[in-house]
């Protein structure tokens, strides 16, 4: 597999405004079709979506995505009830997408694994897997503590993790090694840290001044290695052999072109002092602007 083929197109931007730097209006079905055509031409075959991404699933359903490997999320609240029809949520996604099978369904809220009724949710997903409606079951997590708890108590096929050039939290306790020893597929998201890593250093410092030294070091690293922040962030994650898929939100056709052009190149060797373990920086749920999204 070449590095570009590891890319999984995130579709949050297809149905809503998403991310720190996204100022675009909502993409039309025609624009999305052009993006998918370019992606497929370059060997990209994975899409990551969710019923909570506005009308992204509906838009994808109006395009021919039968040859794509689609990952979506099961719609849940913050607790699990025996009355919940999680199967119905997945079947609704299949209907909106107009496909017969999903590559994977992820549980978007990792705190549900601490809920006494978690087996109700997992059993419903397992039944769909047995019926051939989904191939894999997974979870999206925020930190290595959640990974360790899930690995110690459950069997999953995929774990989606936050991972980028300054975020060392998933390497601190050999988390990636643990996942690969269990043959769990690893999907990386937030590789630009909500777009923060691609901002001009003045904007980085203005919005996140507590980490001014990090921004100076990162920008100096890029200048010294004659690469752009985009190239550094993208190649660093794509080149990691323990990462199976890299989820990239695409705002427009030109952005995907630039991404494809930037994906391959020399090896990115990051100095240890650039790596942060600070959850206040690396986890956007701790940013004040995203306080309303914190999971209870």
Range of 77's domain?
3-198+229-270
Whether residue 203 is contained in a domain is answered as no
Residue 295 burial by CB count (10 A; 0-12/13-18/19+): exposed, middle or buried?
A: exposed
Q: Domain tally for the chain? A: 1
Report the candidate in 165, 155, 145, 136 with the shortest Cα–Cα distance to residue 234.
165
* Sequence-ordered strand ranges (E) for 42-122: 46-48, 69-74, 102-107
Residue pLDDT tens, the chain, 296 long: 799 999 999 999 898 754 444 455 678 999 999 999 999 999 999 999 999 999 999 999 999 898 999 999 998 888 887 766 899 999 999 999 999 999 999 999 999 999 999 999 999 999 999 999 999 999 999 999 999 999 999 999 999 999 999 999 998 889 999 999 999 999 999 999 999 999 999 999 888 999 999 999 999 999 999 999 999 999 999 999 999 999 999 999 999 999 999 999 999 999 999 999 999 999 988 887 765 554 43
CB 264 within 8 A of CB 4: yes
Q: What is residue 296's predicted lDDT score, i.e. its pLDDT? A: 39
Q: Is residue 193 part of a domain?
A: yes
pTM listed for this prediction: 0.93
Residue 279 lies in a domain: no
- Residue 40, domain member (yes or no): yes
In a domain, 176, yes or no: yes
Burial class (CB in 10 A: 0-12, 13-18, 19+), 83: exposed
Report yes or no on 283 lying in a domain: no
Q: Which two three-digit tokens encode residue 14?
A: 């297809």
Query: Which residue from 168, 196, 125 is spatially nearest to 270, judged by alpha carbons?
Result: 168
What pLDDT is stored for residue 290 in this prediction?
60
Q: What is the pLDDT of residue 55?
A: 93
Is the Cα torsion angle 5, 6, 12, 13 positive or negative in sign? negative
137: Cα within 13 Å, side-chain hemisphere = 21
Is there a domain that residue 210 lies in?
no
Residue 99: which CATH number? 3.20.20.100
Helix (H, G, I), strand (E, B) or coil at 287: coil
């Amino acid at each position: 597999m070449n590095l570009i083929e590891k890319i999984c197109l995130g579709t949050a931007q297809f149905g809503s405004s998403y991310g720190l730097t996204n100022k675009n209006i909502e993409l039309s079905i025609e624009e999305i079709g052009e993006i998918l055509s370019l992606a497929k031409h370059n060997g990209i075959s994975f899409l990551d979506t969710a019923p909570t991404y506005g009308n992204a699933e509906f838009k994808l359903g109006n395009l021919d995505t039968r040859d794509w490997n689609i990952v979506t999320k099961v719609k849940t609240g913050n607790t699990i009830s025996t009355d919940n029809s999680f199967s119905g949520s997945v079947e609704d996604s299949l209907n909106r997408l107009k496909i017969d099978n999903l590559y994977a369904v992820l549980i978007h809220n990792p705190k549900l694994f601490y809920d006494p009724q978690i087996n109700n949710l997992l059993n419903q997903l397992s039944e769909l897997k047995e019926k051939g409606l989904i191939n894999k079951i997974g979870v999206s997590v925020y930190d290595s503590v959640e990974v360790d708890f899930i690995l110690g108590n459950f069997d999953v096929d995929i774990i989606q993790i936050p991972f980028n050039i300054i975020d060392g939290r998933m390497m601190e306790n050999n988390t990636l090694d643990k996942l690969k020893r269990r043959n769990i597929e690893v999907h990386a998201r937030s590789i630009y840290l909500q777009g923060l890593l691609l901002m001009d250093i003045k904007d980085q410092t203005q919005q996140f001044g507590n980490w001014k030294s990090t921004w100076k070091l990162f920008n100096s690293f890029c200048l010294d290695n004659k690469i752009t922040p985009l190239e550094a962030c993208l190649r660093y994650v794509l080149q990691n052999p323990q990462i199976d898929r890299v989820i990239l939100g695409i705002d427009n056709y030109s952005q995907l072109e630039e991404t494809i052009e930037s994906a391959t190149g020399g090896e990115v060797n990051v100095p240890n002092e650039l790596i942060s373990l600070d959850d206040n920086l690396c986890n956007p749920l701790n940013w004040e602007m995203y306080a309303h999204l914190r999971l209870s």
